[in-house]
Structure 1
């Protein structure tokens, strides 16, 4: 079982999260901290902990959080705040799978789900933020994309884990044709693999963020 770290200088928030975590179960112990220094100290002792933190209440930076992510690869961070900028959320979410996002006004069921996923080291994004990210991307002009409509559809299937054979069968195409589309997608996006192409698909709204993270 993992240790739960609560990094928040609001007493009511810490008490509320402790109540939810205790009811949910599955944590070995719960530790509290209120500063960046205390957080680092606790992670040193518990490198695979789940850390629930309010970034807006800490005297820290995005770069420092990314350093913690790199240093403590087994830890999982839940960004738990009243308000977070879109740029901050995107940078955290697309930096890897160690950062989840749950807003403080999220329903209890989503807070519990965020904790469950974090224990498994699986990224979770609450519904409101996932919808905002998706809605923002949908407003962008698709004509700005270097991909054709067919290439966008194939990229979405690739990002969702479909193999070349599965894509070919589902779209009644030959494997060779799908492979050609795949090469064109990589060339146009200037990427080398599906992982990099998937990052583009998420940023461009080609893949539904809610569908992908579930």
Structure 2
């Protein structure tokens, strides 16, 4: 079996060293890098293309949520699990909306970290023990039953609804045209809307215009 390639992103050396030492006792897991800040996490994900990244919520340079969202723009296949001390349901749902595939509290038993890595690698969403019940009914769908858009997807949607081309959106948001196309595909899938006219109507009816800066 090919080992699951993992990146650890956390600015606390005791955390990364401890987790790495534990994970390296498992033949099915290969820790390919440890980084201590958001920008280095982005670079490592793009360069190494790990199967799973464990991302600290609070890091210098760029927090884990922003790093997760930006990583998914350049590496849509990335599977990221947020590490946090916060068990507030708002933190958990926000992490999932930014594209995280899991949420782990730092005080969980270490064997649960391995379970999370394996399940996220297999395509599942993993919430550690004690957090899933907190957000039952709110983690997967929005109020209308649709999968919620990330903040960057909302920004792309607003510009598409205004009639901007993919190239124009890419220029305004400083991302590639290919990334815009990926966002556009995900937006249509999440909302179940196939046409630009339908997207425009959704923006008008949902009140998203109020989010524009």
Q: For the superposition of Structure 1 and Structure 2, which TM-score range results when normalised by the shorter chain?
A: 0.5 to 0.7
CA distance in 1, matches of 2:18, 2:123: 22
TM-score computed with the length of structure 1 as normaliser: 0.56
**What is the Cα deviation at residue 6 of structure 1?**
1.0
Asked if 1:90 corresponds to 2:88, the answer is no
Structure 2 residues not aligned, in runs of 5+: 146-190, 194-213
| CA gap 1:40/1:192 in 2 versus in 1, 3 angstroms | closer
> In the TM superposition, what whole-angstrom CA distance separates every residue of 1:119-148 from its partner, at most 9, and x where no partner exists?
3232210121112223x97xxxxxxx99xx
CA distance in 2, matches of 1:59, 1:88: 19
**What is the Cα deviation at residue 25 of structure 1?**
2.7
Q: How many residues align structurally?
A: 141
Picking from 124, 127, 141, the partner of 1:125 is 127
Q: Secondary structure of the equivalent of 2:7?
A: strand
The higher radius of gyration belongs to 1
Structure 1 residues not aligned, in runs of 5+: 138-144, 147-154, 156-190, 194-214
Cα-Cα RMSD? 2.8
Task: Map 1:26-175 onto structure 2 (within 5 A).
Answer: 26-61=28-63, 62-83=65-86, 85-94=88-97, 96=99, 98-134=100-136
CA distance in 1, matches of 2:192, 2:53: 33
More helix by share: 1
Task: Map 1:163-202 onto structure 2 (within 5 A).
Answer: none
**What is the Cα deviation at residue 92 of structure 1?**
2.3
CA distance in 2, matches of 1:64, 1:28: 22
